[in-house]
Amino acid sequence: MAKLFLDHKNIWHEIDAFYFYVLCERKADGYHMVGYFSKEKESIEFNLSCIMVLPAWQTNGYGKFLIDFSYQLSLIEGKTGSPEKPLSFFGHRAYVSYWTNRILNTLLDNQHTQLSID
């Protein structure tokens, strides 16, 4: 069995302090975990603690999906937040890709509308 290591994360709390959101892909032979993110239950500052997409699925947009899901949960909770720092190299790449995509889509969808940074 292979072991997975997250180089940039240390856990200082029991896992009871976190919610874990696991993303699975459904195939003919069942469900397969493709990634997850965790979120501290009591955090008012961070909407995401750790995110991981397994290597075989990293180019399928699942990282962006998990990031967007974390923000959608924050909207439901009425909270603002950001990911816990420091971001790993891959975490940083995922967030840059996510926000680039969001901003470009917003600009394209509102070409004939005056936009504000607010």
Q: Which residues are catalytic?
A: 84
Q: What is the CA radius of gyration of the chain?
A: 16
Q: Can you tell me the distance from the alpha carbon of 35 to that of 60, in angstroms, rounded to the nearest whole number?
A: 11
**Residue 32 to residue 29: CA distance in whole angstroms:** 9
